[in-house]
């Protein structure tokens, strides 16, 4: 039986190796593409196609290092291979802290595709690069360097002057020689231990946190350094920054001036008309040989008209009186109702960018809503969780209320408030608060708890605050009146399933009350006391 299986295996292996050779021969990218997808879904969590380790070893040159047969066995069931006493398998097992590679459910053909892709991962990348518009003046080496930098270095370094976790790398080519850099990158701890003065100084400067040894080869380091030296300038990203608009603010002032001018012109016209009227009337009186006795001044003329049209004036007065009364009553209903309140905040923080486009959960910043009465305005350390890295200096703009603004200006306001120096990454001793304007204000005589609604009631933020993720400037969405509270409590159901407390209570109810409270099959907030005065007013 075993022999038969072996025979089958051998024959499939033969076929496979034939396929492998054929694919190499034909140099088709079809296999490589399928292999790429397979690699991404099955292998990339632990392996790279380069030389660098992730969780498992880098797979560069694996096809020459191991036999096809061995690889097949290893991928399908590495523990079996280790147990069989294979030397290579054991060595790898030891090297990677005795963590076995999980057995992969792949067909022989799929393994071939993956190995094919690993053998020549750049075939496709090269095609893609040729198709993509190349950044101006960037050589192949620089492009490769950029790619390597982004995957290996960017988490701790920038190519500018500013520190992240490690120092900014601008001008590192002049500061250090290439040999030193290769040593440092591949094993900084060794260099420090060897007593190198520069290495020690950096180690001390960065709080004795050593740079992790990077598994890149000398050529790759060269490419990265080339990229740091001449980073390609991407078109269309630089020129946009200063398109700030300053027109709209003067708009309201302009309308006011126009209205005043109109009033002045109209008043002048009335005076002028009155004068003409008097002149004509006088001329008419002269012609008839009578003395002119009518009203001369404007005020007299008005009095004259009123006394002549008493009925009309009375009607007008009545209409005006009631119109005023209605307006006043309408106005009374808006007292304390700030729906649509939309003050301009000290920093142009766009909820649309953060919660909408970047899909950051409301709770990330307003973290106390789950635990506390107040859904806090995030302190600036929460901003810095992202904006330590995202400083907007790549010349990006953002849209705020339909206008474009440069990002760095607004982010610098955070740094300034914190007295933070982004170049040295040092916080100063003179922080100042950002004076955010609170929008949702409940009167002191009404109690409201966020945690009660968010954690217990499972309400979304949008229920009361509206679609904040679509607002640049946040405005008050709901009325926050008592009527509004009461109405919501009346129709909102309580999720009481699986809650032993309520089950026990309801089982004790008499039929009459059961019908009254549970007859409609829904338990509302009102029915569990959400309309009690003292729930919110005490």
Question: In the complex, which residues of this chain contact other proteins (CB under 8 A)?
Answer: 45-46, 54-55, 97, 99, 102, 150-151, 154-156, 164-165, 207-209, 317, 320-321, 323-325, 327-328, 330-331, 334-338, 340-344, 357-361, 363-364, 367, 371, 373-374, 376-377, 379, 381-382, 384-386, 388-390, 433, 435, 437-438, 441, 443-445
- Min separation Cβ 347 and other proteins, Å: 16
> φ, ψ for residue 426 (rounded to 5)?
-115, 135
- Min separation Cβ 99 and other proteins, Å: 4
Let me know how many helices (H) and strands (E) the chain has, helices first.
27, 4
Burial (Cβ within 10 Å: 0-12, 13-18, ≥19) of residue 412: middle
- Min separation Cβ 449 and other proteins, Å: 12
CA distances from residue 462 to 345, 454, 476, 477, 524 in whole angstroms, order as listed? 21, 11, 11, 9, 20
- Min separation Cβ 393 and other proteins, Å: 13
344: CB partners within 8 A, 6+ apart: 437, 473
| Two tokens, residue 341 | 């309140």
354 vs 489, beta carbon nearer other proteins: 354
- Min separation Cβ 72 and other proteins, Å: 21
323 vs 495, beta carbon nearer other proteins: 323
Query: For residues 374, 380, 382 and 383, what is the CA-based torsion angle, rounded to 10 degrees?
Result: 120
11 vs 394, beta carbon nearer other proteins: 394
| Two tokens, residue 473 | 């400037």
- Min separation Cβ 156 and other proteins, Å: 6
- Min separation Cβ 388 and other proteins, Å: 6
Angle, vertex CA 523, rays to CA 520 and CA 527, nearest 5:
105
289 vs 433, beta carbon nearer other proteins: 433
Buried b (16+ CB within 10 A) or exposed e, 112-128: bbbbbbbbbbebebeee
> φ, ψ for residue 430 (rounded to 5)?
-125, 60
Identify the H or E element spanning 220. Answer: helix 218-229
279 vs 363, beta carbon nearer other proteins: 363
d(CA 160, CA 171): 9
321 vs 513, beta carbon nearer other proteins: 321
152: CB partners within 8 A, 6+ apart: 52, 214, 216, 224
- Min separation Cβ 167 and other proteins, Å: 14
- Min separation Cβ 33 and other proteins, Å: 20
Specify which residues 421 forms β-bridges with. 426
Q: What is the DSSP letter of 153?
A: I
327 vs 491, beta carbon nearer other proteins: 327
- Min separation Cβ 206 and other proteins, Å: 11
23 vs 354, beta carbon nearer other proteins: 354
52 vs 112, beta carbon nearer other proteins: 52
d(CA 60, CA 58): 6
45 vs 509, beta carbon nearer other proteins: 45
Alpha helices in 362-424 (DSSP H): 362-365, 380-387, 407-418
- Min separation Cβ 392 and other proteins, Å: 10
133 vs 340, beta carbon nearer other proteins: 340
Q: Which residue has the tokens 């106390």?
A: 368
- Min separation Cβ 359 and other proteins, Å: 5
266 vs 377, beta carbon nearer other proteins: 377
Report the candidate in 12, 146, 4, 140 with the shortest Cα–Cα distance to residue 69: 12
8: CB partners within 8 A, 6+ apart: none
DSSP 313-361: HHHHHHHHHHHHHHHHHHHHHTTT--TT--PPPSS---HIIIIIIS---
């Amino acid at each position: 039986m075993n022999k038969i299986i072996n025979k089958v295996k051998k024959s499939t292996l033969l076929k496979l190796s034939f396929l492998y050779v054929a694919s190499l021969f034909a140099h088709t990218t079809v296999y490589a593409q399928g292999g790429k997808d397979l690699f991404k879904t099955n292998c990339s969590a632990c392996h790279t196609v380069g030389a660098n380790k992730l969780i498992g070893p880098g797979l560069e040159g694996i096809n020459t290092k191991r036999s096809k047969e061995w690889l097949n066995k290893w991928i399908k069931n590495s523990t079996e291979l280790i147990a069989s006493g294979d030397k290579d398998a054991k060595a790898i097992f030891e090297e990677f802290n005795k963590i076995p590679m999980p057995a992969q459910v792949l067909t022989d053909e799929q393994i071939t595709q993956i190995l094919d892709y690993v053998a020549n991962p750049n075939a496709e990348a090269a095609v893609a690069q040729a198709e993509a518009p190349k950044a101006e003046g960037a050589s192949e080496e620089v492009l490769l360097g950029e790619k390597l930098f982004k995957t290996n270095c960017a988490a701790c370094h920038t190519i500018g002057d500013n520190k992240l976790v490690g120092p900014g790398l601008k001008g590192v080519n002049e500061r250090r020689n290439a040999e030193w850099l290769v040593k440092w990158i591949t094993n900084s701890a060794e260099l420090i231990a060897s007593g190198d003065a520069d290495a020690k100084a950096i180690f001390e400067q960065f709080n004795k946190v050593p740079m992790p040894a990077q598994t890149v080869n000398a050529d790759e380091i060269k490419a990265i350094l080339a990229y740091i030296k001449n980073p390609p300038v991407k078109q269309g990203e630089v020129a946009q920054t200063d398109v700030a608009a300053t027109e709209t603010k003067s708009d309201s002032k302009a309308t006011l001036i126009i209205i005043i001018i109109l009033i002045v012109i109209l008043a002048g016209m009335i005076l002028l008309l009155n004068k003409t009227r008097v002149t004509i009337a006088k001329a008419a009186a002269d012609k008839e040989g009578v003395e002119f006795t009518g009203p001369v001044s404007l005020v007299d003329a008005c009095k004259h008209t009123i006394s002549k049209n008493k009925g009309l004036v009375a009607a007008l007065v009545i209409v005006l009186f009631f119109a005023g009364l209605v307006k006043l009553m309408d106005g009374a209903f808006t007292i304390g109702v700030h729906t649509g309140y939309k003050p301009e905040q000290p920093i142009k923080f766009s909820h649309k960018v953060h919660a909408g486009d970047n899909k950051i959960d409301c709770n990330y910043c307003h973290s106390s809503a789950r635990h506390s009465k107040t859904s806090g305005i995030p302190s600036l350390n929460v901003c810095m969780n992202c904006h330590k890295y995202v400083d907007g200096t790549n010349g990006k703009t953002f849209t705020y209320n339909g206008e474009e603004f440069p990002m760095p200006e607004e982010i610098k306001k955070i740094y300034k408030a914190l007295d933070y120096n982004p170049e040295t990454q040092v916080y100063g001793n003179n922080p100042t608060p950002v004076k955010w304007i609170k929008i949702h204000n409940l009167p002191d005589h009404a109690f409201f708890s966020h945690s009660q609604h968010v954690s217990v009631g499972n309400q979304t933020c949008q229920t009361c605050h509206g679609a904040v993720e679509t607002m640049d400037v946040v405005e008050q969405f709901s009325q926050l009146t008592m009527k509004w509270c009461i109405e919501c409590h009346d129709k909102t159901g309580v999720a009481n399933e699986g809650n032993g407390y309520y089950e026990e209570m309801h089982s004790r109810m008499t039929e009459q009350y059961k019908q009254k409270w549970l007859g409609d099959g829904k338990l509302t907030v009102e029915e569990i006391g959400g309309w009690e005065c003292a729930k919110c007013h005490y």
